[in-house]
């Protein structure tokens, strides 16, 4: 059910690049439909800025369907905003009230330098994946998958871990900017399946080493990452990653 249109005050982080200091800039929007997505609301803001000859706000987006994880905005102190298990593009303006002030910032982490405004460089995640978040053994053809019996509980856990979209909300919400939920999901999805067991020792060591080299912090088990993850990735994966890492070091 649609209500009347809303007036919104936006305080948006504006920053030219990683070298410059940024600041919050206030904008007024007077005719926002509650049925708009949060990103559509930003499209309206940017159209107004362009008409005025001002620089539009840079923000990441791609699929706008909650699949890619690109729409990483820190909204009123929460990654992806006030709803649980949604990305920013799945957040609608009806989650806010007429007259609300909304503060929008980029992900804050030393390992995610700001490129511009709300856009940060998350290539640290790509470099972690490149260190072992894949399978390089020959796994045969598609039909051969049926000849490998995998316990349903393992298959389900692997599937749940594989739901991670690599958005970085876990890093943004962690007081230590830890990437352990992301890395543990990527390690878990492969460690739980027979095809991933061949390289599991090297994978755990190499991915954890790269995570540390990128400057992500440590986990102190506060659990904020699981709460703010748009896909509800479980903390159980961090425990599994720790086991994989310890076993890998013992085998050496």
| pLDDT per residue as tens digits for the range 68-86 | 999 999 999 999 999 999 9
Instruction: Say which residue, 247 or 142, is predicted with more confidence.
Output: 247
In the prediction, which pLDDT does 182 show?
98
Taking the C-alpha atoms of residue 51 and residue 235, their distance in angstroms, rounded to an integer, is 46
Q: Are 185 and 129 in contact (CB under 8 A)?
A: no
Structure token pair of residue 37? 């997505």
Task: Say if residue 139's pLDDT is above 90.
Answer: no
* Distance separating the N- and C-terminal Cα atoms of the chain: 61
For the domain made up of 6-116, the CATH class stated in words is alpha beta
Domain limits, the chain: 6-116, 123-251
pLDDT band at 3 (very low <50, low <70, confident <90, very high): low
Q: Domain spanning 123-251: which superfamily? A: Alpha-helical ferredoxin (1.10.1060.10)
The closest alpha carbon to 148, from 202, 187, 184, 192, belongs to 192
Confidence at residue 144, expressed as pLDDT on a 0 to 100 scale: 75
3-class DSSP state of 24:
strand
Give pLDDT, residue 1.
Answer: 42
CA 127 to chain centre: 15
The helix (run of H) or strand (run of E) holding residue 8 is strand 6-14
Enter the tokens of residue 153. Answer: 């509980």
Count Cα atoms within 13 angstroms, Cβ side, for 115: 11
Task: Round the average pLDDT of the chain to a whole number and report it.
Answer: 95
Q: What is the mean pLDDT of residues 152-173?
A: 97
């Amino acid at each position: 059910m649609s209500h009347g249109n809303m007036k919104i005050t936006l305080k948006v982080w504006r920053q030219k690049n990683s070298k410059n200091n940024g600041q919050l800039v206030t904008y007024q929007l007077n005719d926002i439909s509650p049925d708009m997505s949060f990103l559509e609301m930003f499209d309206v803001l940017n159209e107004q800025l362009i008409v005025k000859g001002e620089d539009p706000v840079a923000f990441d987006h791609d699929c706008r369907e909650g699949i890619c994880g690109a729409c990483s905005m820190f909204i009123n102190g929460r990654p992806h905003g006030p709803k649980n298990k949604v990305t920013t593009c799945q957040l609608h303006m009806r989650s806010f009230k007429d007259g609300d002030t909304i503060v929008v910032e980029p992900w804050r982490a030393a390992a995610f330098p700001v490129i511009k405004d709300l856009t940060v460089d998350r290539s640290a995640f790509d470099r972690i994946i490149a260190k072992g978040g894949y399978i390089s053994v020959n796994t045969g053809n598609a039909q051969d998958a049926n000849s490998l019996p995998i316990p349903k509980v393992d298959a389900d856990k692997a599937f749940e871990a594989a739901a991670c979209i690599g958005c970085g909300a876990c890093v943004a919400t962690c007081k230590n900017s830890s990437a352990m939920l992301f890395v543990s999901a990527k390690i878990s999805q492969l460690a739980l399946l027979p095809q991933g067991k061949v390289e599991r020792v090297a994978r755990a060591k190499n991915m954890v080493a790269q995570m540390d080299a990128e400057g992500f912090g440590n986990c102190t088990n506060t659990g904020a990452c699981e709460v703010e993850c748009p896909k509800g990735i479980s903390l159980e994966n961090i425990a599994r990653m720790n086991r994989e890492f310890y076993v890998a070091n013992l085998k050496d």
